[in-house]
Amino acid sequence: MDFKQITENLRQRLTDFYSNNKKTVQIVAGSLVVIVGGSYYWYGVHMPQQESQAAEKLAKLEYYFMNDSTTIVLNGDKALKIESAPSIADSYSGTHKGSEAALMAGLTYLHTGEFKKALNYLDMAKAGDAILGPQVIAAKAACYSELNDYGKAASMYERAAKLGDNEFTARNYVKAAQHYTLNKDYKEALRCWETLKQDYPLSQEMGQEVQNADMYIQHLKGLLGDLN
């Protein structure tokens, strides 16, 4: 069988398949058009529009957030046509600026003592980088601390310290140790102090805490009956 015959047989088989399955082929083809077209519109048109709208609204709030105007940040101002951070976060949750609004709302709720609301919005904030991420996690830890969940606060502070892994975030080891102690998890508290002493022995940022590490280590070893 030559190439021409093979091609003709293949063409005939495709024609027969289409004739016998015309409705199914049309449905599948139509669905693919809808999916591809919908995806293009969503990612190529809708999301950029959403991002732009969120950025414009958030820009009006930045001054008030930086100047601790908590009422405007959390409630907006109709007269000034300023939308609140929680509203922007809720309306634009899939955008980067929506995530920034969630962080703004979470930190402001933390500042005003509304810790459960703070956690809700901090959970919406996407901050995985080594600079902002530890701050978001430490803010969550502070909320759990205020809600008297010392075990959760301790683990979150430790997570913040590990994520940053530098002398500026290392202070979170101290907070983690303090909260493990409050939760009577003395072994975990001891481990945090020992990590701090071992990894940041010459830290200028952590000077006093590092100097006190030996005192807390000895105290915790005493509580654990591990003094030799």
Structure confidence at residue 132 (pLDDT): 81
Structure confidence at residue 129 (pLDDT): 64
pTM, two decimals, is: 0.75
Helices in 42-149 by DSSP H: which ranges?
47-66, 70-75, 85-91, 96-111, 115-124, 132-146
Structure confidence at residue 14 (pLDDT): 55
Structure confidence at residue 40 (pLDDT): 44
d(CA 117, CA 94): 19
CA–CA distance from 108 to each of 8, 71, 75, 82, 95 (Å)? 71, 9, 11, 16, 20
Digits of tens for pLDDT over the chain (228 positions)? 555 565 565 566 656 655 666 666 455 555 555 455 545 444 554 456 878 888 899 999 989 999 989 999 999 999 999 999 999 999 988 788 888 899 999 999 999 999 999 999 999 987 666 678 899 999 999 999 999 999 999 999 999 999 887 888 888 999 999 999 999 999 999 999 999 888 887 666 666 777 788 899 998 988 888 765
Structure confidence at residue 23 (pLDDT): 62
CA dihedral over 183, 184, 185, 189, signed as positive or negative: positive
Structure confidence at residue 46 (pLDDT): 46
**Cα–Cα–Cα angle for 175, 177, 178, nearest 5°?**
65
Domains present along the chain, CATH in parentheses = 1-110 (no CATH), 127-228 (1.25.40.10)
